[in-house]
Amino acid sequence: MIVDLKTEILPAGQAAVAAAARTLGSGGLVAFPTETVYGLGADAAHAEAITRLYQAKGRPAFNPLISHVGDLAAAQRIAQFNATALALAEAFWPGPLTLVLPKTPRCPVADLATAGLDTVAVRVPAHPVARDILRTFGGAVVAPSANLSGHVSPTTAAHVQSDLAGRIDLIVDGGPVQVGVESTIVGCFDAPMLLRPGGVPRDAIERVLGRALMKPPEDPEADNGQPLAPGMLASHYAPRTPVRLNAVSLEPGEALLAFGPAALAGINGAAAVMNLSERRDLTEAATNLFGYLRALDEKRADAIAVMPIPDDGLGEAINDRLRRAAVPQT
């Protein structure tokens, strides 16, 4: 059951960081900015806090969480790094990359946070506020995106508030985030595997590794019944309004999520128009994606029509999130 908590909102700064560390230390739930999206943090070693976190988000407990730490040394107390993992950590940490690795024998992360897997997802975020909180708190912090499960990820404190007010203890407001899509997740298995496209583009990772990333198996239970990417549910990141992809013209009553010059047939009858990036810049489009989806969702249009977006660079992560947003919800 969700208790009706009083959710405090503090502007980022010393007082907020101290309050965040204190709240985490006593098993509370704190939303804070990372460079990708806002995260909902709990002490990774505190099983009860993690139970509350799953409840607050309405998240299924089979979907494990990412442990956030301050640096590589802290990550190595949790996870066993092979050569691939070390190369990737060196190249991209701090930053929007999550590595899935075998747990260390004395891994302090609660089993509940890893959904009983023998692997753990770990990342060192780059956002200064996230880093201050991790340094002051001292331990690992599990942090899924700070939205209700299945909903669009939050890129501002106001998004967090609209999903989670009354369900969590504290929101640290550090302004809008930079990257706008979640971290890229790489499974550092015998052959490194792209489990989720995200803020670090695939080609940057492949350049460091000198090889192509594997695709996860089609059957999500392929690895002896252990899901490799358990969180990749088909419908996710979803606004309430239906989403129509690859729109080349607009139907009456539809809202438009544009990319590049938007001269579509029917645009004059649009319920609303927002442009991810008029100059076709995929970095700018990623930053705007979730906020614009939330804003268009408020227009109560018949559908949100989305113009085609190229699949290179950050486009792979953008198109992944849009495909999930377009899966009809049950």
Contacting positions for ligand TXA (CB under 6 A): 34, 36-37, 39, 63-66, 96, 98, 100, 114, 117, 119-121, 125, 143-145, 182-183, 185, 195-196, 228-232
Q: CB under 5 to 8 A by kind: which of ligand TXA, Mg ion, none does 294 bind? A: none
Give the span between the Cα atoms of 313 and 307, in whole angstroms.
17
28 vs 275, beta carbon nearer ligand TXA:
28
Strands 184-187 and 193-196: antiparallel
Selection from ligand TXA, Mg ion, none that 39 binds (CB < 5 to 8 A by kind) is ligand TXA
In the complex with Mg ion, the residue whose CB is nearer, 307 or 321, is 321
Name the residue with tokens 């595997």: 193
Q: Rounded to the nearest whole angstrom, what is the least distance from the CB of residue 53 to Mg ion in the complex? A: 12
- Using CB under 5 A, list all residues that contact Mg ion: 145
Q: Which of 116, 152, 146, 169 is nearest to 10 (CA)?
A: 169
Least distance CB 229 / ligand TXA (angstroms): 5
Which of Mg ion, ligand TXA, none has residue 24 at its interface (CB below 5 to 8 Å by kind)?
none
Q: Name the binder of 120 from Mg ion, ligand TXA, none, CB < 5-8 A by kind.
A: ligand TXA
Residue closer to Mg ion (CB basis): 40 or 109 = 40
Task: Identify whether 94 is preceded by a cis peptide bond (ω within 30 of 0).
Answer: yes
CB of 66 vs Mg ion, minimal distance in Å: 9
Per-position b or e across 66-105, b if 16+ CB within 10 A of its CB: bbbbbebebbbebbebeebbebbbeebbbbbbbbbbbbbe
| 205-211-214 Cα angle (round to 5) | 80
For the chain, what is the radius of gyration of the CA atoms?
19
* Partner whose footprint covers residue 320, from ligand TXA, Mg ion, none (CB < 5 to 8 Å by kind): none
What's the closest the beta carbon of residue 65 comes to ligand TXA, in angstroms?
5
Say if residues 322 and 245 touch (Cβ distance below 8 Å): yes
Q: How far apart (Å, rounded) are the C-alpha atoms in residues 139 and 126?
A: 17
Q: Give the Cα separation of 221 and 176 in Å (integer).
A: 36
> What is the smallest separation between the CB atom of 267 and ligand TXA, expressed in angstroms?
33
Cα 311 to the center of its chain, rounded Å: 19
CB of 76 to ligand TXA, least distance (A): 16
Interatomic CA distance for residues 50 and 256, integer angstroms: 38
> Which residue minimizes CB distance to ligand TXA?
231
Measured from the CB atom, the residue of 158 and 209 that comes closer to Mg ion is 158
256 is in the binding site of which of Mg ion, ligand TXA, none (Cβ under 5 to 8 A by kind)?
Answer: none
Least separation in angstroms between CB 40 and ligand TXA: 8
Secondary structure of residue 10 in the 3-state scheme: strand
- Nearer Cβ to ligand TXA, position 120 or 296? 120
Alpha carbons 118 and 104: distance in angstroms, whole number: 9
